[in-house]
Structure 1
Amino acid sequence: MHSRWIFTLAGLAMAAPYAFAATGGNSTHAVDAIALYSQGAAVVQDSRAVSLDRGEQTVSWPVIGAIQPDTLWLSGAGVQLTGFDISAPGADASGNNLSDRIGRSVTLRAPGGKTRQGTLVNVDGDTAYVRVDDRIERITAASPIEISWSVGKSRGGARNSGSGLTMNVDADKSGQRKLTVTYQTRAPRWQASYTGRFDPASGKLRLVSQAVIDNSGHDALDARQAWLVAGDTSRAHGGPPRPMMMAKMASSESAAAGPPQAVGDVYRYPLAHGLHVKAGAVKSVALMKPISVEATRRYRFENQALNDTGNSRQHVRVSLAFDNSSGQPLPAGAVRIYDAGHAAQLMGGTRIDDTPAGAPVTLALGGAFDITGTHRVTKQSDDEGNGKTTRVRVELFNAGDKTRRVTIAERLPAGAQLADDAPKTSGGSAEQPEWRVSVPAGGHRTLRYRFLQPKSS
């Protein structure tokens, strides 16, 4: 909701969207820096100048979302953190919620700065009813009018924002100090989203990537500097990543994320203009420049060796394989591939794992309509003293108008091995042999082999 309702702290006006004041969501405080992790967590860093007295005192601090208590870090010259309190989301003991002001005086501020005094008589959802003189004014979330009121003094000028943070600090002397707070919070999971077009004639695959942040929570994400972090970061007790100090970032006019920065064992992508996502909104930014790679469409018929499908046919699986020759890491995310040879043709959709530069990628795209197969166990026999022999027949059918190369992949039982008279394999391993065969258009192809299982002791 975009209308802003104001409460003042010791004469300082603090902007707060009404949705937050009433329900515990949508903070408008912009933090210095935030790093969003793909696992659904964030590290937040924020600095403020605070006037302190000498000795022990409390400092209130605005935070984003539900802060994780055991992740808080405070730094400031001559200032020591001695304890802190975190209120539950939405809790407000000082009466800062708009609904707490019913029956009490409020100030209405017009966009030009003109103010009027009134009495709040009711709050209904995102609508407030204020008595001004002898009439009732209805103020909705779409109204430009701001509502403010005075609350007690709070050192640091904070208000609740998801969770409310109050720190107990000990200062070695009085005066204004720069305090920096770093903490972790639950945050919307971001993910890469790839859209590709594959040209069967040239074998070229062009991929365009976006980073999608779906902020379905009640708190806005507002940071002057921001990064998206890709990779698998260890998290204590299932919590978010450890805090990390944020580096300065050069400004840019580009709406895309900057080049990936290797930080430790993960990559992070700087957002040139920070992060600004309203509560309940979805934001998407270009993650990297489009890439073009050589790709190959592959067909694969894979079964357990002892699987017997009878006369029931299975569809051969289709995939698109390529090497990540872009020179950049590819963060995990959804992938949709379109067929460039035909209008409005989706080849398939799948997911890609975190993929380093130069690593192979196989995108599973679904089943081949025209290419099917059966897998039969035709005979099993016990050989005295030598274990068991199993005979397998794999038959592939191609109803299409082009010859297709299909990989037949078998998974043998533990300890089994192919018989000496089995057809020569094209790849795989001793436990998972593979044969690449050509299946003619409108025809079929049969593969037969035997495997031996040792006698169990």
Structure 2
Amino acid sequence: MRIRGRTLFFPCLLFFATTALSAAEEQPETQLTIYRDNLALVREVRTLSLARGTQSYRLAGIPARVDPSSVFFQPLSGPGAWRLVEQRFAFDLADTDRLLAMSKGGRVLVTDKQGQTHSGTLLSALSGDLLLRESDESVKVLKADSVASIQLFSPAEGLVTEPALTWILEAEKSGLHKGSLTYLTEGIGWQADYLAVAGQGETTLTLTGWATVENRSGVSYRDCEIGLVAGEIHRAPGYGPPERRILAEAMAAAPKGASDLQEAPLAEYHLYKLARKADLPDGEKKQLSLCGPAQVKARKTYRYEGQKHASRVETTLEFENREGEGPAIPLPGGRVRVYEKDEAGVLRLLGEDRIEHTPRGERVRITLGAAFDLVGERTVKESSKLTGNTRKETIEIRIRSQKGDSARVVVAESFWGDWELLGKTPPIAKKDARKVEFELTVPAGGESAFEYQVLIR
């Protein structure tokens, strides 16, 4: 094993590692419930080979990022067949510093970079510098940058090369016993990614959803049942494939609504279960079909918020997530990329946005980017203090267009405190206590403007 430019040799390590492992087990039955915030609940059915009486049993294949306090083991061999007395979780894995620290007091053979060997008892290994007592009782200091290799003859017991649970068990009789192991681990998560291909005029979308699952837990899971939970669970404090391939799959002919995942309610959340068993190797991302391709009726709207952006007018696409207009299924929050074919039939990216968890029946809004041919202008023409904390403002909104057709622009304005609009304004919709939206139609190659007055207390 080569670490930090030095080599460690273990003449007796083969016997040591073999005695540290428990008997080989069959592949466990595994169920993964994966949450959005880098968290997974793992349930495994394991078969243990136990002797009668009290014994120690080492269970390997445990991720280093497991929460030991969440580990729960339930015997399935019948009541009283065996019981768990004590549990320890070893996660302080062996590295150069730990191996040397565990070998203090033992015999070592050090080879320096000039090829000379130094044999003795290891007294200290701080910051890579070695302190040896030689056979004549003299003490030698070897600096870290002078050492080429270190040979350890008797590594101390307790060397951990992979995370493992160690149990003290009491069994009524010897034989094979089944049990259900459940634990929470970080390092496994998922996110939703949507691909939308806009039709001509951006009045329709072909929407395809993918669930991207990533495993960085340090453990590979084979032939397991996978469920994905959409929603935000509360936790106590203190504790993608290449885009070109995805696009090809999104555009491929498929039955409407075809999906790898089947949606079902789970308390206040939504659970998406994979209809087949699958592998989830460590260090790998896997994509599963979430929904679609589904035909969606879209509406393009331009949006101007002059209090945030001086002149920027944003392009948005909206659709209703209901029967006849959208997918009509709960949509987990995630990233949406929108594409459109150009005159040559080549797909071009129009923009991308993130959507929140969207229940069935709600509206989805996707912001694509700034409209090149629309420019907004917001001017405070008058601001006067009337009495006390009351003031009156006169605001002018102006939208200029170089587009070849008319454009519907929603102008959003925000206020703080108690406010009241005065005089005549374009059609409005009061969104909440702080926001109002005006609707404006801008002619092709022209300009639209309006003024409004607001009384703010």
Give the equivalent residue in structure 1 for 2:313. Answer: 316
Q: Could you report, residue by residue, the CA deviation over 1:280-329 in whole angstroms, capped at 9, with x for unpaired residues?
A: 2222121233222211111111244xx8x8xxx51211111111122321
Give the equivalent residue in structure 2 for 1:50. Answer: 48
Give the equivalent residue in structure 2 for 1:331. Answer: 332
Structure 1 residue 423 corresponds to structure 2 residue 425: yes
Give the equivalent residue in structure 1 for 2:61. Answer: 63
Provide TM-score, normalisation by structure 1: 0.69
- Per the TM alignment, residue 273 of structure 1 is displaced from its structure 2 partner at its CA by 3.7
Q: 1:8 to 1:88 in 2, by over 3 A?
A: closer
- Give the distance between the partners of 1:382 and 1:449, measured in 2 at CA: 17
Give the equivalent residue in structure 2 for 1:37. Answer: 35
Q: Which runs of 5+ in 1 are unaligned?
A: 16-27, 93-99, 101-158, 240-254
- Per the TM alignment, residue 193 of structure 1 is displaced from its structure 2 partner at its CA by 1.1
- Give the distance between the partners of 1:267 and 1:190, measured in 2 at CA: 14
- Per the TM alignment, residue 262 of structure 1 is displaced from its structure 2 partner at its CA by 1.7
Q: SS of the counterpart of 2:287?
A: strand
Q: Could you report, residue by residue, the CA deviation over 1:380-428 in whole angstroms, capped at 9, with x for unpaired residues?
A: 2233579321111111110111110101111123112112x14154212
- Give the distance between the partners of 2:350 and 2:441, measured in 1 at CA: 22
- Per the TM alignment, residue 258 of structure 1 is displaced from its structure 2 partner at its CA by 2.9
Q: CA RMSD in A?
A: 3.4
Q: Which has the higher contact order (CA 8 A, sep 6+)?
A: 1
Q: SS of the counterpart of 1:189?
A: strand
Give the equivalent residue in structure 1 for 2:180. Answer: 180
- Per the TM alignment, residue 80 of structure 1 is displaced from its structure 2 partner at its CA by 2.6
Q: SS of the counterpart of 2:403?
A: coil
Q: Which runs of 5+ in 2 are unaligned?
A: 1-13, 96-102, 104-158, 240-257
Q: Is the 8 A contact 1:200 1:341 kept in 2?
A: no
Q: Is the 8 A contact 2:218 2:283 kept in 1?
A: yes
Q: Is the 8 A contact 1:387 1:453 kept in 2?
A: yes
Q: Is the 8 A contact 2:30 2:224 kept in 1?
A: yes
What is the count of residue pairs matched by the alignment?
Answer: 355
Q: 1:13 to 1:57 in 2, by over 3 A?
A: closer
Q: Could you report, residue by residue, the CA deviation over 1:54-97 in whole angstroms, capped at 9, with x for unpaired residues?
A: 443222212341221110111113233222111115349xxxxx
- Give the distance between the partners of 1:212 and 1:405, measured in 2 at CA: 36
Q: Is the 8 A contact 2:23 2:49 kept in 1?
A: no
Structure 1 residue 205 corresponds to structure 2 residue 205: yes
Give the equivalent residue in structure 2 for 1:444. Answer: 447
- Per the TM alignment, residue 204 of structure 1 is displaced from its structure 2 partner at its CA by 1.6
Pick the aligned partner of 1:262 from 256, 265, 290: 265
Q: 1:291 to 1:8 in 2, by over 3 A?
A: farther
- Give the distance between the partners of 1:39 and 1:392, measured in 2 at CA: 44
Q: Is the 8 A contact 2:39 2:187 kept in 1?
A: yes
- Per the TM alignment, residue 341 of structure 1 is displaced from its structure 2 partner at its CA by 5.7
- Give the distance between the partners of 2:268 and 2:331, measured in 1 at CA: 14
- Give the distance between the partners of 1:370 and 1:415, measured in 2 at CA: 36
Q: 1:390 to 1:160 in 2, by over 3 A?
A: same
Q: Could you report, residue by residue, the CA deviation over 1:81-136 in whole angstroms, capped at 9, with x for unpaired residues?
A: 222111115349xxxxxxx9xxxxxxxxxxxxxxxxxxxxxxxxxxxxxxxxxxxx
- Per the TM alignment, residue 355 of structure 1 is displaced from its structure 2 partner at its CA by 1.4
- Per the TM alignment, residue 190 of structure 1 is displaced from its structure 2 partner at its CA by 1.1
Give the equivalent residue in structure 1 for 2:229. Answer: 229
- Give the distance between the partners of 1:413 and 1:238, measured in 2 at CA: 36
Q: 1:289 to 1:439 in 2, by over 3 A?
A: closer
Q: SS of the counterpart of 1:237?
A: coil
Q: Could you report, residue by residue, the CA deviation over 1:17-48 in whole angstroms, capped at 9, with x for unpaired residues?
A: xxxxxxxxxxx965522222121111111122
Q: Is the 8 A contact 1:199 1:341 kept in 2?
A: no
Give the equivalent residue in structure 1 for 2:410. Answer: 407
Q: Is the 8 A contact 1:30 1:223 kept in 2?
A: no
Aligned residue identity for 2:313: V
- Give the distance between the partners of 1:226 and 1:391, measured in 2 at CA: 58
Q: 1:191 to 1:217 in 2, by over 3 A?
A: same
Q: Percent identity?
A: 29
Q: Is the 8 A contact 2:202 2:299 kept in 1?
A: no
- Per the TM alignment, residue 348 of structure 1 is displaced from its structure 2 partner at its CA by 0.8
Pick the aligned partner of 1:360 from 363, 366, 372: 363
Q: Is the 8 A contact 2:396 2:452 kept in 1?
A: yes
Which runs of structure 2 are paired with 1:361-376 in the superposition (5 Å)? Answer: 361-376=364-379
Query: Mean alpha-carbon deviation: is it higher for 261-270 or for 383-392?
Result: 383-392
Aligned residue identity for 1:171: A
Q: 1:271 to 1:201 in 2, by over 3 A?
A: same
Q: Is the 8 A contact 1:438 1:445 kept in 2?
A: yes
Aligned residue identity for 1:348: G
Q: SS of the counterpart of 1:260?
A: strand
Aligned residue identity for 1:186: E
Q: SS of the counterpart of 2:69?
A: helix
Give the equivalent residue in structure 1 for 2:394. Answer: 391
- Give the distance between the partners of 1:223 and 1:36, measured in 2 at CA: 15
Q: Is the 8 A contact 2:62 2:164 kept in 1?
A: no
Q: SS of the counterpart of 2:312?
A: strand
